[in-house]
Structure 1
């Protein structure tokens, strides 16, 4: 089986050309909603402010079983064009690599699945049921997925996440606990710092201590909890002792390390005078290696001539942290053409070969899902 991946090439270029950095996802939602409409799905867009629209689409045929759901996010992290060798939204071709912000994370996954779905829907068959959920605001803590009304989603079935795995099946990923740390000080003239209490210095010490901490909990297969100081700011100008400062901390969680324990560990590291508040609390996702979903995806990968051995849990989180529960999904896997090492980097790229492979793999999975004689009919 070989599906032409050129449609996915063009769609990926079109998606990269849309600047969807934590806003503006509406343009990408409109583009993809049109394609899903053309494929015969019942399509809705939903957002929480202008430009922050998302897409929920489902095959309209009556289904005796829950659908196979694909999800991907339309937003990206920022890109400073001064650091890139080309315009981040130009989608320049460099050999087999298509370069641009979102190429790997994760507009390639969206493009590949939509190309495969369009081909799948073009061939008459009794469709078992397919659902597509394209979100906004994933990069800022799955904001969009959490805002999708429950009555727009068709529950049950399997959840396929198109995040970057280089077309390897990943049955689990870490969770995330983002904390806001705040310090209060006493303002004074910059020439007399001893008369004040510097809030920035207090949080700078906390930042170094958090960065250097080495005793975070571990879990088999997942590795250790990680801690990243992602933002530190405070003060107004050089000649004023800052009386307030803020630090944002990103903890990636593993089984057995709950939010309460991690907050306590952070408190022990930064001391009693620093305020701690939750920003994001996303659960990890884990599907057993012997589950029907993992077996089905591995079979499809083998048929496509690709490696089928499951990879270790991903370090990143995905919208599955929200959607797996909202859908009451029977299982979740992450599988996408992007390169995990290209997430959030300068000159981000995706291999067009992997993009074409993903179109093929997604197409095979869709066909197996809907095949009348397939064992998958008993696996959802």
Structure 2
């Protein structure tokens, strides 16, 4: 088993569903320290540590990022143990294989290999985060002062090793309704908050006139959570909903919130929960060109893909790494070995051969970065 696949197996075998990322930060820190990286593991509570590692003499390094957490997995729905990282031919099956522990493994292995080769290193920085799946929780806790800003950003999220220079934003909202409790045998004496929000959920689900963008596609909305009430024989006096709206360039948060409020109807309160901006890098940016050169050198397709429909920590980190410090985002490319259509699904898998191909792509990119100055 190669180094990248071995590390991937170890990463998958740790359950990191909104907790426990610190163990993986330490697992990745060990080979990086041995490879000469300066490593810190900032966190905000025990077990939620993240990793920032740097090498090279440059003051504005190339940053590579990935997240260490995953969404949940119900073993009863899977045909294999979600945390066993079982092999099925070319496939490695397990929660987080595509999203995105394969990308983390590739970044660590390629970075250590790059640092071991004698050369004048322009600078490489790894940022491995916790809590990305809950709205970039960990990235939002990082500060510019804890990073080395100024360089471009490579996100190891799943693209099947295809060059993707951006992704949609996310506007999560919390909708609440307050009603009046009554006995379940006399619903006419109460005001059912769950019914009110259920009607809002249906209206939002069926809404078909969201704005669209020529390359990012349409705005989408998903009712991800709806809850309320205490038991069948009580008219619920409170209900809440969490709504996930994916945004595109040119769509302002106030406009999205206004549409949601209108569809929610009277008596429904709308509040922002998480707001993450679109990431959109110009196709002619020099960093995009550098990634294309690395893909060609590794014998891979360098065609630019449409922006990803998911969000990444780049929504936060691209601003923190701004070369000018004025908030203008760092040039960003999303490129990782995972399969985009395997995110959050049962029996999630990634391709072992694409993991190995990604190691070579990253090695070529890191070498090209250090030659580019």
Given the two structures, how large is their TM-score scaled by the length of structure 1? Answer: 0.95
Alignment match of 2:226 (pick from 232, 253, 265): 232
Which residue does the alignment assign to 1:144?
138
Q: How many residues align?
A: 367
Q: Deviations over 1:183-213 (max 9, x none)?
A: 0111000111111011101111100100000
Which residue does the alignment assign to 1:28?
24
Residue 272 of structure 1, CA deviation: 2.9
SS of 2:316's partner is helix
- Structure 1: unaligned runs, 5 residues or longer: none
Q: Deviations over 1:290-336 (max 9, x none)?
A: 11111111111111111110000000000000000001054100000
> How many angstroms apart in 2 are the aligned matches of 1:56 and 1:112?
16
Runs of 4+ that moved beyond 2 A: none
SS of 1:53's partner is coil
Residue 35 of structure 1, CA deviation: 1.8
Which residue does the alignment assign to 1:62?
57
Alignment match of 2:8 (pick from 1, 5, 12): 12
SS of 1:324's partner is helix
Whether 1:79 and 2:73 are equivalent positions in the alignment is: yes
Given the two structures, how large is their TM-score scaled by the length of structure 2? Answer: 0.97
Residue 219 of structure 1, CA deviation: 1.2
Which residue does the alignment assign to 2:326?
none
Alignment match of 1:247 (pick from 241, 250, 253): 241
SS of 2:133's partner is coil
Q: How does 1:186-265 map to 2 (within 5 A)?
A: 186-265=180-259
Which residue does the alignment assign to 1:47?
43
Q: How does 1:110-129 map to 2 (within 5 A)?
A: 110-129=104-123
Which residue does the alignment assign to 2:355?
355
Residue 36 of structure 1, CA deviation: 1.3
> How many angstroms apart in 2 are the aligned matches of 1:111 and 1:351?
13
CA-based RMSD of the aligned residues comes to: 0.9
Which residue does the alignment assign to 1:281?
275
Task: Please say which of residues 324-333 and 309-318 is displaced more in the overlay.
Answer: 324-333
SS of 2:195's partner is helix
Alignment match of 1:319 (pick from 303, 313, 317): 313
Q: Deviations over 1:198-233 (max 9, x none)?
A: 110111110010000001011110111000000000
SS of 1:228's partner is strand
SS of 1:328's partner is coil
> How many angstroms apart in 2 are the aligned matches of 1:300 and 1:131?
18
> How many angstroms apart in 2 are the aligned matches of 1:355 and 1:221?
28
Q: How does 1:300-315 map to 2 (within 5 A)?
A: 300-315=294-309
Residue 124 of structure 1, CA deviation: 1.3
> How many angstroms apart in 2 are the aligned matches of 1:369 and 1:39?
19
SS of 1:134's partner is strand
Which residue does the alignment assign to 1:101?
95
Residue 149 of structure 1, CA deviation: 2.7
Which residue does the alignment assign to 2:327?
none
SS of 2:100's partner is helix
Q: Deviations over 1:29-72 (max 9, x none)?
A: 1101112111111000011111111001111x432x51000000
Task: Please say which of residues 324-333 and 99-108 is displaced more in the overlay.
Answer: 324-333
